[in-house]
Amino acid sequence: MEVLFQGLLSLNFSSLIMMGIGGVLILLAVKKDYEPMLLLPIGFGAILVNLPFAAVWEFEGEAGVLQIFYNAGILTEIFPVLIFVAVGAMIDFSVLIKNPKMLFLGAAAQFGIFATVVAVVLLGYTFPGLGIDLKSASAIGILGTADGPTSIFVASRFAHHLLGPIAVAAYSYMALVPIIQPPVIKALTTKQERLIRMDYSDKKISKTALIMFPIVVTVISGILAPVAVPLVGLLMFGNLIRESGVLERLSKSAQNELANLVTLLLGITIGATMHYERFLQPMTLIILALGLVAFVFDTAGGVIFVKILNLFSKSKINPMVGAAGISAFPMSARLVQKMAAEEDPTNFILMPAVSANVAGQVASAIAGGMVLAIVPWLLS
C-alpha cells in the first residue's frame, strides 16, 4: 500500500512551485501566443522533471529519456546547430545583400553581450559567494545576442549548470520583444526621427550572388573566428540549400520537419533541466534580470548607433531600424514596421528592418563564436 502513495509522499513545496512555473509557461504559450513552439514544451518538461522521483531524468540509477536527449542533443551541441540549419533555410539574405551597410546595425545590436558580461563580472566581484567566474559571466552575457540557439550553444560549453535558466531567459524575452523594445525605442528617439522614410532598392539579386553569399560568409567567419564555424557554417549551409534551387525538398524539410522536430525536442529537454534543486536558486533570478538588461542594451545599442551614423550621413536611417538589429527574427522587424505605421500609416520601413534583423542573426552567431574563442584565451 505504501508503494501506491510513495509519489504523493515524495511531493514537496519546491517541486510544486516548479510545476506551477511550468504551468505559467504553458499558459503564456496558449493564451498569449508567446513563442508557443518553445514555451509550451519547456513548460511541460519542467512539470515532468519535478514529478516525484523525476523518472524522465533518472530512475534507479539509469538515465531517463530526457537525460538521454540532453546528453545526445544539448551537451553535444547537436540541437542548437540543427536549429541553425533550419533558420538558415528560412532566411532570404537578398534583403541584406541589397543593403550591406545593415551588417553594421546587426553588429551594433550585439552591444548587450558586452554590457551584460561586464555587469555579471562586477556582480561576481561584489558578491563572491555567488561563485560567478568569467565563463559563467560570458554564458549569461551571451543572452545579449537575443538568440536562443546561440545562448544554449555557449552555455553548454561554459556553464551547463546554468543552461536551464539561460535558455528560459533567452526564449522568454524573445517572446516579450513587443513589450520590451517599444519603451526603449521611444525613450531614445524623437517623433521626427521615427517619421524618417527610407528608400529601398527593388533591384534583382542574381542567383550567383545568392549562392556565393553563404559560402563567402562561412569562409570569412571561419578565418576570423574559427570557433564560430559550427554556428555560422550550419546557418549558411541551411541558406545554401535554400538558394541552390536544386534541393527544394530538402529546403522545405529543413524549414518545416527539421525545425519542428528539433524545436520540440530542444524545448522539452531544456524544460527537463529545470529541476527545483537547480532552478530555485538566487542565480536564476539574477539570470532572468540580466536577460532583461541584455535585451534593453541590445535595443539601445542599435538605436544609438543609427543616431550616430545619421550625424555623418546624407541618407538618413530611421533609428527604429537599429532596434531590429537584434537576432529575434522576424519579430523585431515586424515590431519596428508596426511602430513606424503608428507614427505614419504611409511609412513602410519593413524591408530595411528585415535587412537589419537578418544581419543580427549572422552577427549573433559570429559573436557567440568570438566569445567562445576570447574567453579561454583570457583565462590562459
User: Are 278 and 167 spatial neighbours (Cβ–Cβ below 8 Å)?
Assistant: no
DSSP state of 203: P
In this prediction, residue 7 carries a pLDDT of 58
**What's the rounded Cα separation, in Å, for the pair 96 and 272?**
38
C-alpha cell at 24: 505559467
3-state secondary structure of 115: helix
In this prediction, residue 5 carries a pLDDT of 58
* Neighbour-count burial for 77-111, b at 16+ CB within 10 Å, e otherwise: bebbbbbbbbbbbbbebbbbbbbeebbbbbbbbbb
User: Are 358 and 96 spatial neighbours (Cβ–Cβ below 8 Å)?
Assistant: yes
C-alpha cell at 21: 512555473
**What's the rounded Cα separation, in Å, for the pair 226 and 224?**
6
User: Are 198 and 352 spatial neighbours (Cβ–Cβ below 8 Å)?
Assistant: yes
Rounded to 10 deg, the angle between the 331-343 and 177-188 helix axes is 50
Helix (DSSP H) and strand (DSSP E) numbers for the chain: 22, 2
In this prediction, residue 258 carries a pLDDT of 94
In this prediction, residue 37 carries a pLDDT of 85
**What's the rounded Cα separation, in Å, for the pair 41 and 140?**
22
CA 290 vs CA 121, 277, 329: distances in Å: 12, 21, 21
Spell out the residues 6+ positions from residue 217 whose beta carbon is closer than 8 angstroms to its own. Answer: 232, 236, 362
Q: How many CA atoms lie within 13 A of 226 on its CB side?
A: 1
In this prediction, residue 6 carries a pLDDT of 61
In this prediction, residue 1 carries a pLDDT of 47
In this prediction, residue 10 carries a pLDDT of 66
In this prediction, residue 8 carries a pLDDT of 62
Q: What are the residue ranges in the chain where pLDDT is below 70? A: 1-10, 201
**What's the rounded Cα separation, in Å, for the pair 354 and 94?**
10
| DSSP, residue by residue, 253-302 | HIIIIIHHHHHHHHHHHHHTT--HHHHSSHHHHHHHHHHHHHHHHHHHHH
User: Are 368 and 231 spatial neighbours (Cβ–Cβ below 8 Å)?
Assistant: yes
pTM for this entry: 0.84
**What's the rounded Cα separation, in Å, for the pair 68 and 60?**
15
> How many residues are listed for the chain in this entry?
380
- The dihedral built from the CA positions of residue 169, 179, 183 and 104, taken in this order, carries a sign that is positive
Task: Provide the β-strand partners of residue 349.
Answer: none
